[in-house]
Amino acid sequence: MPIQIHQGNTAPPTVANITIVIDVIRAFTVAHYAFLKGVKRIILAKDVEQAFQLKMKNPDFLLAGEVNGLPIKGFDLDNSPYNMRSKNVAGKTLIQKTTNGVQATLQCLSSDHVFVTGYTNAKTTSQFIKHKFAKDQRKSINIFASHPSGDDDFACAQYIKSILENANAISSKEVAKRIQHSHVAKKFFDKSNPNFIPEDMECCMIELDTGFVMKVRNNDKIPMIERVNVCKKMS
């Protein structure tokens, strides 16, 4: 399958059959932990205004996200995977608005299949796609490193591409190291900046074998991420 890596949160130059959008720090790491905590689905909001409008119509929905990395006033949840691990969100619907990951995903809805991931679920997502579409090598794949300049997302994109191509071109250890040392991660280790915590980076830098992928339902008026369980025999 022809595979291309793109970087940024704008529309792709060409539409692929399959698109994988990556946001390691932190949107789709948060989404992964949210599903682990029992979230039912995650609606993707294009902006803060739409998020509040959706909340107004559905008071039980929870607002989650950030603008420029910072919590949004009036939102129920921030964009911290560490904080998400302690939240009681089972059975809930989240409305997620973020600067890069959500924005990039909304630019890729013309693709037949859209998946989102952080590093935590990158291997499972890659193996699922390789297994599910193995019989059709004609399908094209776009991998989006959603941060316009972050090596964290780009390293993860190279890792996914390597798995899809059976190339062993980059190890999981190297990916974790590049995430830790990316310029996007620096503020999380700055003790003078209380808005960002090192525990978030610990959550972003580990692989979790959780048995599901995050697929975007892109045929509705408002796109949403859903949990799709994977076959245990998948390799």
* Residue-wise pLDDT tens digits, 123-168: 999 999 999 987 777 899 999 999 999 999 999 999 999 999 999 9
* Residue-wise pLDDT tens digits, 99-117: 999 999 999 999 999 999 9
Of 151, 42, 166, 48, the C-alpha closest to 98 is: 48
* Residue-wise pLDDT tens digits, 174-228: 999 999 999 999 999 999 999 999 999 999 999 999 999 999 999 888 999 999 9
Taking the model in full, what pTM does it have?
0.96
The superfamily in CATH containing domain 3-229 is ComB-like (3.90.1560.10)
Helix (H, G, I), strand (E, B) or coil at 198: helix
Name the H helices within the chain. 27-36, 48-57, 81-84, 101-106, 122-132, 151-164, 172-181, 198-204
Average pLDDT over residues 67-77: 97
